[in-house]
């Protein structure tokens, strides 16, 4: 076998090895993309489940709290304020989750999905700029009305403060969990976009 034939054979073997390596890398990238897509879709599923739970709880709270405060004898203005505040909270939660409800990571436009998730995160983050001050005003009127309407206002207010602290802790934990989950999904979408650019 002459020198040219040997070099040609070595070149063909090298080409075969490069082709095999490219195939392996492509398979690994596809597997990696599938894993990222599954993780992102699972995260979105969790966010949507959370939205349904909190939205339903919010609607229940509107009915239950306005009924109970009315039965106890609180003023109509306080009962109406409570109902409106809780309704706004429920509507904001449901509205925020509507934006991500129909996301399908495997078939959607990744830029659009990332923008929808960023918008969702902004709504959740900015929501406290409204809800915390209004909640503090609500607490003042709760105290004011309780002093006027109830014989044992102190006992009611202590029980309310304990319940409020527990509820606040649960709400904050759920809020930050949603923010963390959203950040994970956004990071997954960014990883997918980087892989598509390569």
Percentage above 70 pLDDT, the chain: 82
Stated pTM of the model: 0.74
What confidence category does residue 108 fall into, taking pLDDT thresholds of 50, 70 and 90?
Answer: confident
Instruction: Determine contact, residues 94/51, Cβ cutoff 8 Å.
Output: yes
Average pLDDT over residues 96-109: 82
Across the range 144-155, mean pLDDT stands at 82
For the beta carbon of residue 181, count every other beta carbon within 10 angstroms.
17
Count CB-CB contacts under 10 A for residue 165. 10
Structural contact between residues 90 and 157, judged by C-beta atoms closer than 8 angstroms: no
Angle, CA 140 vertex, CA 158 and CA 149 arms, to 5°: 70
Tell me the CA distances in angstroms from 197 to 28, 102, 185, 194, one per residue in order. Answer: 16, 25, 19, 5
Provide the mean pLDDT of the chain.
82
The pLDDT of residue 80 is 94
Selected residue with higher pLDDT from 193 and 146: 146
Three-state secondary-structure class, residue 11 = helix
The full set of domain ranges for the chain reads: 3-197
Of residues 19 and 128, the one with the higher pLDDT is 128
Bigger pLDDT: 33 vs 169: 169
Contact 115, 97 (CB under 8 A): no
Report d(CA 5, CA 82) in Å as an integer. Answer: 89
Is 198 strand, coil or helix? coil
- Confidence at 77, pLDDT banded by 50, 70, 90: very high
């Amino acid at each position: 076998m002459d020198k040219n034939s040997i070099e040609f054979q070595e070149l063909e073997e090298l080409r075969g090895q490069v082709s095999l390596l490219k195939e392996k890398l492509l398979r690994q990238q596809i597997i990696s993309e599938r894993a990222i897509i599954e993780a992102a879709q699972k995260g979105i599923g969790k966010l949507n489940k959370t939205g349904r739970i909190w939205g339903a709880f919010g609607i229940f709270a509107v009915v239950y709290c306005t009924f109970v405060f009315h039965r106890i004898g609180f003023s109509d203005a306080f009962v109406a304020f409570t109902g409106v505040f809780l309704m706004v909270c429920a509507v904001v939660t449901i509205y925020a989750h509507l934006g991500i409800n129909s996301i399908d990571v495997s078939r959607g436009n990744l830029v659009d999905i990332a923008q929808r998730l960023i918008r969702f995160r902004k709504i959740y983050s900015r929501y406290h700029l409204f809800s915390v001050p209004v909640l503090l005003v609500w607490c003042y009127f709760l105290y004011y009305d309780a002093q006027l309407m109830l014989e044992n206002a102190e006992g009611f207010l202590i029980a309310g403060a304990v319940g409020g602290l527990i509820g606040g802790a649960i709400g904050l934990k759920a809020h930050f969990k949603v923010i963390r989950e959203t950040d994970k999904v956004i990071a997954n979408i960014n990883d997918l976009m980087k892989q598509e650019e390569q």
